Structure 1
Amino acid sequence: MAGLSDMEKKLAEFKCDTNEAIKMKLVRFPEDIEDESMTFNPEYSHQTFGDEEVAFGYKGLQILLYYTAGNLSTMFRVKYGSKVSDKFDLVQPDDVESKIQEIIPPGFCCGTDDFISSLEKEVNFKPFGTVLHTYTVHNEEAGEDITYQIYKADMTCPGFREYHERLQTFLMWFIETASYIDVDDEKWDYFLVFEKYNKDGATLFATVGYMTVYNYYVYPDKTRPRVSQMLILPPFQGEGHGAQLLETVHRYYISSPKILDITAEDPSENFVRLRDFVLVKLCQHLPCFSPEKLLCGFSQEMISESQQKLKINKQHARRVYEILRLRAIDMSDAKQSKAYRLEIKKRLVGPYKKNQREMAKMRRCLKPEELTNQMNHIDLNTQHEQLEESYQQLVAEYRRIVERLAQA
């Protein structure tokens, strides 16, 4: 057994964390290729390398995925210090190259010279579709305002299909449950963010991020756009581009009388925070959300006006109301604070009450000992503790939105 253990230890040395091994880069200038500070790693690699996110068979494994900043022309290379098969004849390493090639589209290059040739063609790259919004972000490091543009594109734009194939590969590395969409379905809309930058006196464009939206039919004559995927590439995260993109997309759809409301598919916690901020920003000046009306409680007027003017559904309108009411009241005032807390908890207690109704039904068909077991699961003290915890977490989230609004 000791010999087997030693062998296992030796083989374990050939295991690599694929999230660390994959080195990604968005390249604008030839010197960026060697600049380690520009490298970023994926958040996830389980869809390619399994739940453990491990590649076996290499020491010092590096999987290089470099992209030209605009067109996303790709260089893919695998580097390593040694392979397990060099030391152990009967043990084969994972076929890392094949696994990556299942994700990235053909047409990539493997050498630096070819990649630099692709980089020289970036001057010819232009964004796809029509521009919807232009905005600037002040860059402290550069000491200047940088211009960004948001475009709406579709598969009829020349070259967009191939570009989108390269762009969507990022989803696999940065969205946990990502999957590729059916681009032949014409109900998809594509929204893209680009940065304008200068290179040798010319204006070039760098890819910042994108969003896909699916337009569902709602009987009899409406459409419900549903946000499917949204990604701001890592070098641009934390700069407000997600909010700019979501607000621009929202404004694009609310101009159409055919749109019922705008939703999202299986939103992450980060997306919910982003949506809260954007929707509150859009709604804060509606008459139905005036401070005096907020103090009177959530109303049908709020539901109707936010739906008609901004295509926001009842559930989202309720969250907007709760955030704006928090901003409007004085939480150090015991009376105002208590009224707010009770109203929020009344909404949050819904699932618990549903549990109790289900327990009442179960009483009629469960044996006494089974009923006791079930009742223990929903002990009242536990419910109150969970409710208080949920309330505190929600208010903390809402406060962050209010603070961000104040900064905006």
Structure 2
Amino acid sequence: MKQKQLSTADPSAHADPKKRRRVGFATIDAGVEANDCFKIYLVSSKEEVGTSNGYCISPVDLNNFFDEDGKIYGYQGLKITVWISIMSFHAYADITFEGNSDGGKGITDLKPALQSIFGETLVETKDDLLQTFSTESHFISSVVSNGENLHYNAFNGDINCNSSLEATASNVEVVRVVVGNLAAGHLYSRLVPLVLLLVDGSNPIDVTDPSWELYLLIQKNVDSQNTQNLLLGFTAVYRFYHYPDSSRLRLSQILVLPPYQHKGYGSYLVEFLSNVAISEDVYDLTVEEPLDYFQHVRTCVDMKHLLAFDSVQEAVKSAVLQLERGKLSKKSHTPRFMPPPDIVDSVRKSLKINKKQFLQCWEILIYLGLDPVDKYMEDYLTIISNRVKADILGKDSETAGKQVVQVPSVHDEEASFVMFRSGNAVVTGVQMDKDQTKTQEEQVQQLVDDRIKEIKLIAKKVSQQHA
């Protein structure tokens, strides 16, 4: 990590001493957003270090690493450039500024902040980083040699039929390593800075816990002299014990390195892990707090399996026939069109898709089954709206169906009450005014609109793949 100050001339040094100096009040330092003075590059060769020729990671939210307001204080013209090697994942930071002074908020100590992001991967000098390209050129290969090569098919050999793929599946493989293994733990420790920067809301996993597994997406580049293993991405999965003799897989983190994103590798990893769960006959595969984009990819993968599952298709046909019989929107009680319990269990056993995820896919399967869809769209919207409302009421369980009754007391009467849940789930102690009711209706409608857009998008994509 290098820090240098650009020289500046003091304009007052040659001022006429006879002239009276003007007295003013210094402005309070407003600080600079960390995001505005950082550039981070991923580099694959020595020649890219110190230049802007690497892959610039953008956007990255760095504000969380600098005080409470995410700002850096005390510097003028501050620029911080970081280069990260994708061969060894070491990092070097170059810091330049025109000047620094305490403008009322102190001077931010940059070194601890950089250490909090890059940890032990941060080297002191540019030469230190350059040296790693030769001393650690086989770092990924050494980790892979300690892992287990897996050979489950993904997308029938096609990584993503909708992506412009630059590398074929023939030179891409997935290697499983147990995090309790020293080499695997070492690799993950070096990946932590990228996880913190690129995976929203993530925290590092425990590299001493052997229940953690890394699934490494590796590209093998073979030339006349040697084989170079390149890490394209990875997913961290926790293996739980499930009574009596099975296990459950929970996907906790997934990251495709920025230079290789939007090429289908994320879908490849999700599909591959799904096939691992099926082949190893685990109880199910779940995901820890999936983000919207990942949920979209996951649902596309699961839909591919469900569209080929005969018993599911028969259940969908039955539900679609029921929907097509009449105007559900005009009925006092609209059925939720839930899949039969035996189908839910069969999907979990055969495809390792848990109930919550299957219900998300079920709505899309019904949409795909409507022909023509426009004719039955009003009833379909009613089904989705009812489901969204039911989900909201379920989440609002702290107040739904509860009553508050005041009871006589010799103490503070305002603080004396009992609360109980009404058996018929009717709330008598809380009334919403018209504005609150309107706001709630608008929020529900927005959720319904967003869900319909998502359903249509996924239905269009899987229809193209299924054709």
Deviation at 1:92, TM superposition (A): 4.8
For 2:163 and 2:249, how far apart are their aligned partners in 1? Answer: 37
Is 1:130 equivalent to 2:148 in the alignment? Answer: yes
For 2:406 and 2:265, how far apart are their aligned partners in 1? Answer: 55
What residue in structure 1 maps to residue 267 of structure 2?
243
SS in 1 for 2:69: coil
What residue in structure 1 maps to residue 66 of structure 2?
49
Q: Pick from 292, 317, 338: which aligns with 1:292? A: 317
Q: Deviations over 1:42-90 (max 9, x none)?
A: 5222442134322222233333332222332x132232122313xx599
What residue in structure 2 maps to residue 70 of structure 1?
87
> 2:367–2:373: 8 Å Cα contact kept in structure 1?
no
What residue in structure 1 maps to residue 115 of structure 2?
101
For 1:349 and 1:61, how far apart are their aligned partners in 2? Answer: 50
Q: Pick from 373, 380, 387: which aligns with 1:340? A: 380
Amino acid across the alignment from 2:148: T
Matches within 5 A, 1:142-291: 145=168, 147-155=171-179, 157=181, 159-197=183-221, 202-257=226-281, 259-290=282-313
SS in 2 for 1:244: helix
Q: Pick from 382, 385, 390: which aligns with 1:350? A: 390
> 1:64–1:78: 8 Å Cα contact kept in structure 2?
yes
For 1:36 and 1:242, how far apart are their aligned partners in 2? Answer: 25
Q: Deviations over 1:97-155 (max 9, x none)?
A: 12222343436433333323222346534152223358676999997758432221124
Structure 2 CA distance for partners of 1:7 and 1:361, relative to 1, 3 Å:
closer
Q: Deviations over 1:343-383 (max 9, x none)?
A: 2223222145556995553376699xx97863228965555
For 2:184 and 2:392, how far apart are their aligned partners in 1? Answer: 49
Amino acid across the alignment from 2:249: P
Q: Deviations over 1:2-45 (max 9, x none)?
A: 944x422xx33xx3322233322222233322234622245222
> 1:190–1:211: 8 Å Cα contact kept in structure 2?
yes
In structure 1, list runs of 5 or more residues that go unmatched: none
For 1:300 and 1:287, how far apart are their aligned partners in 2? Answer: 16
What residue in structure 2 maps to residue 389 of structure 1?
446
Q: Deviations over 1:279-299 (max 9, x none)?
A: 112222101232624525522
Say how many residue pairs are matched. Answer: 395
Structure 2 CA distance for partners of 1:228 and 1:107, relative to 1, 3 Å:
closer
Structure 2 CA distance for partners of 1:144 and 1:381, relative to 1, 3 Å:
closer
> 1:76–1:108: 8 Å Cα contact kept in structure 2?
yes
For 2:132 and 2:34, how far apart are their aligned partners in 1? Answer: 27
SS in 2 for 1:102: helix
Q: TM-score, normalized by length of structure 2?
A: 0.73
What residue in structure 1 maps to residue 358 of structure 2?
317
SS in 2 for 1:192: strand
Further displaced range: 194-203 or 388-397:
194-203
What residue in structure 2 maps to residue 38 of structure 1?
55
In structure 2, list runs of 5 or more residues that go unmatched: 1-22, 322-336, 408-413, 415-426
Structure 2 CA distance for partners of 1:112 and 1:342, relative to 1, 3 Å:
same
Structure 2 CA distance for partners of 1:288 and 1:102, relative to 1, 3 Å:
same
Amino acid across the alignment from 1:214: Y
Amino acid across the alignment from 1:25: Y
Amino acid across the alignment from 1:70: M
Amino acid across the alignment from 1:57: G
SS in 2 for 1:43: coil
For 1:270 and 1:307, how far apart are their aligned partners in 2? Answer: 23
> 2:87–2:133: 8 Å Cα contact kept in structure 1?
no
Amino acid across the alignment from 2:27: M
Look at both structures and tell me which one has the larger radius of gyration over its CA atoms: 2
For 2:103 and 2:342, how far apart are their aligned partners in 1? Answer: 75
Counting aligned pairs with the same residue, the percent is 23
For 1:318 and 1:142, how far apart are their aligned partners in 2? Answer: 32
SS in 1 for 2:123: coil
Structure 2 CA distance for partners of 1:42 and 1:302, relative to 1, 3 Å:
same
> 1:19–1:41: 8 Å Cα contact kept in structure 2?
no
Further displaced range: 184-193 or 354-363:
354-363
Amino acid across the alignment from 2:251: V
For 1:283 and 1:295, how far apart are their aligned partners in 2? Answer: 16
